[in-house]
Every structure is written in C-alpha cells, then in structure tokens.
Structure 1
Amino acid sequence: MKGKLTSKEYSYTVVYEPVGKGGYQVTVPLLPGLVTYGRSFEEAKEMALDAIRCYLEALRKNKEEIPTEISFVQERVTVFLV
C-alpha cells in the first residue's frame, strides 16, 4: 500500500489588479508565471485559489520544492515628478 497523503496549508500574497473594461488580473509574486483573471472580485478570488492549487500540485508531481512565503514589510510609497 502506498503512503498516505498528508495535507499541508500554504499561504501566499495575491495581487488583484483591476483591468480595462472590468474584472481583475491576479498574480502571486512568489509563484512565477501564475496569472489568472476573474470578471468580478469574487470570481478572481476563486480563480486564484484554483490556480495556486494547480501550480502547487504540479510542483509536487515534479518533485520540485514548494515555496513558502516569509514575513515581509509592505509599504505604499508616493513619488512626485516635476
């Protein structure tokens, strides 16, 4: 009998960017190449969860390391150009 699969929780920062005629483009900075889209914010959140799950499953299948997010400081800055 094969070993039991154990579940582990992963948390990531997700960026939701409003796009032109509505909807949101979604990226996850720690997961390169992961980009998805939702027509509403709720749909974008659902798409993000699904995309992250698929991304991590692919890493696990290929025996690649699953990145874990470390604590960081996030700040919004304003720059004025003259």
Structure 2
Amino acid sequence: MKEKTHPQYFEATATCACGAVHQIGSTKETVRVDICSACHPLFTGKQKLMDIEGRVQKFKKKYADVKPPKKKPAKKKKKTKK
C-alpha cells in the first residue's frame, strides 16, 4: 500500500440501539447503528407485515372503473399468386 493515501483502519466497536455490541473493522473507532442482526425482524423471525390493504385489492380498486379498449376487427389481406 502507498503511504499516506489510505485512511487509518481500526478494530471498531459497533453499538446498536438494542444494546448489542459487535467488533467490526472501520475507519472510525466507534460506530453507532439503529438496527443490527440481533434485533432486525428479518433475522429474528419476528417480522410483521403492516400491509392493511393488499396490493392486489388496491390495484383492483384503482382500476375498477376502467374499461378495456374495444378491439377493431382485423382487416383481411388479399391473397396474391406468385
């Protein structure tokens, strides 16, 4: 590595809002995070879906009054002899 081009690297402590402390590598000595793998719903299995109205029902409600365009009959092509 070249001298004086890279930032100083620390064995940092990452502190989560839930109180969990993790050792990571960083350019800062201490890192504070809002959420970590110890309290994230995806990792803990306590995930809650807050979707009150489903996406499909919301779509149907939005486009309930829209009618599909009328199809015009296709024009017949004349057959040509070769």
Normalising by structure 1, we get a TM-score of 0.26
Higher fraction of helix: 1
Q: Relative contact order: is structure 1 or structure 2 higher (C-alpha 8 Å, sep ≥ 6)?
A: 1
Higher fraction of strand: 2
**Which structure is larger by alpha-carbon Rg, 1 or 2?**
2
